[in-house]
Amino acid sequence: MGELTWYVAVILLSIVNFKATLVVLILPFVFTRFMMMAGNWGQHAFVDADAPANCYRNSITCINTAYNHKCFNDGYHIIHHLKPAMHYTDMAQEFIDNRADYVRERAIVFQGIDFFGVWFLLMIKNYKALAKRYVNLEGTPKSEAEIIALLKERTARIPAEKMI
């Protein structure tokens, strides 16, 4: 009801003064919705077709980014799914304490980039730039080609028969 009321108000205000309504209500609304969708898409772009319901394999974590300082550690998105009630100040330590789980589950972690950066690089298909931000939690060396292959595998279309 709240959103429906908002739409009605925008329509009525548009009749009164369209330019003001456009600048004050419509453009911020469209921009915010777009950014929220792009960020959410970036958070969930890398899905393992063999385990699409696994939180470690259908979400990513972004560390060492200013975004985390401004947005309540939202970059620790896997933790958000595993422990949604966890206070944001505990998320970095939780990640460190459970690094072995991230390694075992083959989680994708990036550093120095936020979800909007991930989204943008995926839109322009710049896997090389994403590979440079990839955090190799395993400690065993991976070539850029191996990292790119993993990222492309996780962004590939999942066949319908695997979605059942």
Record the tokens describing residue 122, joined without a space: 């995926």
Name the CA radius of gyration of the chain, rounded: 19
Q: Is 119 helix (H, G, I), strand (E, B) or coil?
A: helix
Return d(Cα 8, Cα 18) in angstroms, integer: 14
CA separation (Å) from 49 to 83, 87, 108, 131, 155? Answer: 23, 30, 14, 20, 9
pLDDT of residue 164: 62
- pTM of whole model > 0.85? yes
Residue-averaged pLDDT of the chain: 96
Each domain of the chain, given as residue ranges in start order, spans 2-37, 44-162
Please, which contacts does 33-37 make with residues 24 or more away whose CB atoms are closer than 8 Å? 35/116
Categorize the per-residue pLDDT at 139 as very low, low, confident or very high, splitting at 50, 70 and 90. confident
pLDDT of residue 114: 97
One DSSP character per residue, 87-100 reads: -GGGHHHHHHHTHH
Mean pLDDT value across residues 62-75:
96
